[in-house]
Amino acid sequence: MNKFNSTVYYYLFLGRVFQSSLKLKDLEFKKFIPADRIEKKINALANKINKDYHDKTPVFLPVLNGSFMFAADLLKHVSVPCRVSFVKVSSYTGTTSSGQLKTLIGHEESLFGLDIIIIEDIVDTGLTLQKIMDELKGLGAKSVEAVALLRKQPAREKNIGIKYVGFELENEFVVGYGLDYDGLGRNYSDIYKNTQN
Ligand code: IMP
d(CA 47, CA 49): 5
Whether 83 and 59 have beta carbons less than 8 Å apart is answered as yes
Residue 7 resides in a domain = no
Bridge partners of 30?
A: 21, 193
CB 174 near ligand 1, within 6 Å: yes
Whether pLDDT at 7 is above 70: no
Residue 87 resides in a domain = yes
CB 179 near ligand 1, within 6 Å: yes
pLDDT at 149: 98
Q: Which residues contact 174 (CB under 8 A, 6 or more apart)?
A: 29, 32, 33, 122, 150, 191, 192, 193, 194
d(CA 127, CA 160): 9
CB burial of 10-35 (b: ≥16 within 10 Å; e: otherwise) equals: eeeeeeeeeeeebebeebebebbbeb
CB 176 near ligand 1, within 6 Å: no
Q: Mean pLDDT across the stretch 125-150?
A: 93
Label residue 180 by pLDDT band (50, 70, 90): very high
Residue 54 resides in a domain = yes
The question of whether 115 is a catalytic residue gets the answer no
d(CA 39, CA 113): 32
Structural domains of the chain, count: 1
- Confidence (pTM): 0.88
Work out the percent of the chain whose per-residue pLDDT is above 90. 69
| Dihedrals phi, psi of 4, to nearest 5 degrees | -60, -45
Residue 26 resides in a domain = no
**Closest residue by Cα to residue 156 from 130, 127, 126:** 126
Whether 165 and 151 have beta carbons less than 8 Å apart is answered as yes
Please report the atom of ligand 1 found closest to the CA of residue 123.
4
CA 9 to chain centre: 30
User: What is the span of the domain harbouring residue 184?
Assistant: 36-189
Residue 197 resides in a domain = no
| Dihedrals phi, psi of 95, to nearest 5 degrees | -110, 5
Residue 170 resides in a domain = yes
Residue nearest to atom 16 of ligand 1 (CA): 124
Residue 164 resides in a domain = yes
Residue 194 resides in a domain = no
- DSSP letters of 85-117? --EE---EETTEE---PPPPB---S--TT-EEE
pLDDT at 160: 82
How does pLDDT run across 52-110, given as a tens digit for each residue? 999 999 999 999 999 999 999 999 999 999 999 999 885 544 555 555 555 667 776 78
CATH number at residue 143: 3.40.50.2020
